[in-house]
Amino acid sequence: MNEIGAALTANDWVERMSQLALRQGVHLSTLQQKAGGDLEMFFASATLAFPSGASFTEKEANEILKRFLAGAGVMVATDHVELRRWMVDAGFLQRSDHGTDYRRGAMPDWLSNAAQQLDFERIAGAVGHARSANESQREARRQAWLASQIEVTEGGEGDAKVVGEASADETFMRLALDQAHNAWALSEVPVGAVVVKDNKILATGFNQPIGNADPTAHAEIRAMRAASQLLGNYRLNDCELYVTLEPCAMCAGAMQHARIKRLIYGAADSKTGACGSVIDLFAEPRLNHHTEVRAGVLADESRRLLSSFFVERRELKRQGSLPPDADDAE
């Protein structure tokens, strides 16, 4: 039952699925914990992908659910086997007496009337349109933001020219900022990182703890993992790490273990920063490795990016596109 106990209209159903489409990497257990019936609505949407009155082998049911998760259900981080099991447990799919075939189950009362007025193609089309429009808006915002970072003046014949030449640190930091936009596109806090050796990029990474269901999946950790795999060595001697936000204690500790030669970061983090904002692990004299630190490179750009992200998050929550307690993991 939804949070107000009322039957849902077909239009409300399509609108809510369109709102859910703006999210990425949502787990079934997360939907289960939220009020409002989102989990049941998701199961019901998948149920509509099964033609009414027909029975399906397990292989056929799996193929239908695979297509659903690649399209209308793409916002949820699960696979067809887990989804099928959850739907059977919840009664949205029924197994035959001999347990090898599947057919549609019964819809909850609050969804049954709307289900009779809907077909799966309408839901899939609405979800696809919402995601496409959202991606277009994000890309437009990203391009506008990148353009705003290039300072130009008018040339002699009206041609724009770049004023000044960015330092190597600024160049690599801009690449880290570009990685941060990848995190934003997945509704993660926009933090990006780049690992460099001898002025060559070894690896990049962006923040994705929510989508990966991994508390260690910070931008720095992901970039260092990729660099270590490339080099075949967990030691990253003579490597420099660029990151848009001051590292936390976990990432700072990993840099020390990896023997990162130099850390360059953008904005300070007054909540979890481990380079002086809260604690300073890099200044601890008892540690056996000391990474050189440069702070504040393109700090304003990094702060603006983070600020814009959280403004958007608050607006999405206000509109109901995100639950009020949606996690903002960094």
Q: Indicate if the alpha-carbon torsion angle 245, 249, 252, 254 is positive or negative.
A: negative
Residue 288 lies in a domain: yes
Q: Looking at beta carbons, which pairs linking 224-229 to residues 24 or more positions away fall under 8 Å?
A: 224/195, 224/254, 224/255, 224/258, 224/260, 226/195, 226/202, 227/195, 227/197, 227/202, 227/203, 228/258
Q: What is the pLDDT of residue 157?
A: 42
| Co-location of 21 and 74 in the same domain | yes
| Co-location of 123 and 215 in the same domain | no
Q: What is the pLDDT of residue 162?
A: 34
Q: What is the pLDDT of residue 306?
A: 95
Residue 58 lies in a domain: yes
Residue 307 lies in a domain: yes
Q: What is the pLDDT of residue 104?
A: 93
| Co-location of 189 and 111 in the same domain | no
pLDDT tens for residues 236-268? 999 999 999 999 999 999 999 999 999 999 999
Residue 16 lies in a domain: yes
Q: Is the pLDDT of residue 3 over 50?
A: no
| Co-location of 201 and 115 in the same domain | no
The total number of structural domains that make up the chain = 2
Q: What is the pLDDT of residue 77?
A: 87
Tokens 């993992």: give the residue.
225
Q: What is the pLDDT of residue 198?
A: 92
Q: Please, which pLDDT band fits residue 18 given cuts at 50, 70 and 90?
A: confident
| Co-location of 172 and 101 in the same domain | no
Q: Is the pLDDT of residue 322 over 60?
A: no
Q: What is the mean pLDDT of residues 88-101?
A: 87
CA 279/CA 271 separation, integer angstroms: 10
Q: Is the pLDDT of residue 86 over 50?
A: yes
Q: Please, which pLDDT band fits residue 70 given cuts at 50, 70 and 90?
A: very high
Domain that holds residue 272: 168-319
pLDDT tens for residues 114-125? 999 998 999 999
pLDDT tens for residues 153-185? 344 443 333 333 358 899 999 999 999 998 988
Residue 132 lies in a domain: no
Residue 37 lies in a domain: yes
Report helix, strand or coil for 77: coil
Residue 85 lies in a domain: yes
| Co-location of 174 and 238 in the same domain | yes
Q: Please, which pLDDT band fits residue 102 given cuts at 50, 70 and 90?
A: very high
Angle at 267 between CA 261 and CA 273, to 5 degrees: 70
Cβ–Cβ under 8 Å, residues 224 and 236: yes
Q: What is the mean pLDDT of residues 9-30?
A: 85
Q: Is the pLDDT of residue 11 over 80?
A: yes
Least confident interval from 85-89, 142-146, 184-188: 142-146
Q: What percent of the chain has pLDDT over 90?
A: 58
Q: What is the pLDDT of residue 23?
A: 76
Q: What mean pLDDT value characterizes the chain?
A: 85
| Co-location of 302 and 195 in the same domain | yes
Q: Which residues are catalytically annotated?
A: 220
Q: What is the pLDDT of residue 327?
A: 53
**CA 296 vs CA 263, 293, 300: distances in Å:** 11, 10, 8
Angle at 39 between CA 38 and CA 41, to 5 degrees: 65
Q: What percent of the chain has pLDDT over 70?
A: 84
Residue 91 sits in a domain whose CATH number is 1.10.10
